[in-house]
Amino acid sequence: MTVTIAPAIARTTHDIGDFSFLQGAWRATERFLTKCGVGSDEWQVREAYLILRPLLGGMANAEEITYPGNPGLAVATFRCYEIASDEWIIQSYVYGGRPDVPGMLGASGILIPPLRGRFCGGRGNFFGETEYEGSPVRVRYVWRDITAISAIWERWFSFDDGQSWELNITWTLIRERTL
């Protein structure tokens, strides 16, 4: 699926509680495109678990993602709220060999380049840049349909400098428990 996406509306107030909905343990169904940037419509599905803990009174958080079907793979995601820019900065660290999901960006020990963004109207939009198979690509994370017991996270790539975007990962999260 390729679509054109308008930029997020600017927000005028600081809110360090944007990711408080994600605190606790979650079960996720991950649906991922088997090949990015070539118009593929072949998707695979697998299960994942994540636990998010707030840090510094909500100014930051740490998330650990594990995969029951691939016990050697784990991802740690760190989010920090930057007051001066009124943005969240998101970085992830992949551990455990080369992931089997296109675009997870490398082998074990790779710190993925940061994404920056914010929530507006109950939806989070975060943007960054990286490489995919040796070519530059823009990355967009979207948090949407957030409730007390569920949420959806998506990852989009743009191969044309943001003119169009391809959805390549969707997570449907169901709350397991709060911490």
Residues in the chain: 179
Q: What is the distance between the terminal CA atoms of the chain, rounded to a whole angstrom?
A: 36
Q: Residue 105 pLDDT > 60, yes or no?
A: no
Overall average pLDDT of the 138-166 stretch? 96
Q: Exposed/middle/buried for 3, CB within 10 Å: 0-12, 13-18, 19+? A: exposed
Tell which phi-psi region holds residue 134, choosing left (phi > 0), alpha (psi between -120 and 50) or beta: left
Q: What is the pLDDT of residues 18-66, one digit of tens each?
A: 999 999 999 999 999 988 999 999 999 999 999 999 999 899 999 999 9
Q: Residue 9 pLDDT > 90, yes or no?
A: no
pTM of the model: 0.86
Predicted confidence at residue 95, as pLDDT, reads 77
Predicted confidence at residue 100, as pLDDT, reads 54
The band of 2, judged by pLDDT with boundaries at 50, 70 and 90, is low
Query: Which domains does the chain carry?
Result: 2-177 (2.40.128.20)
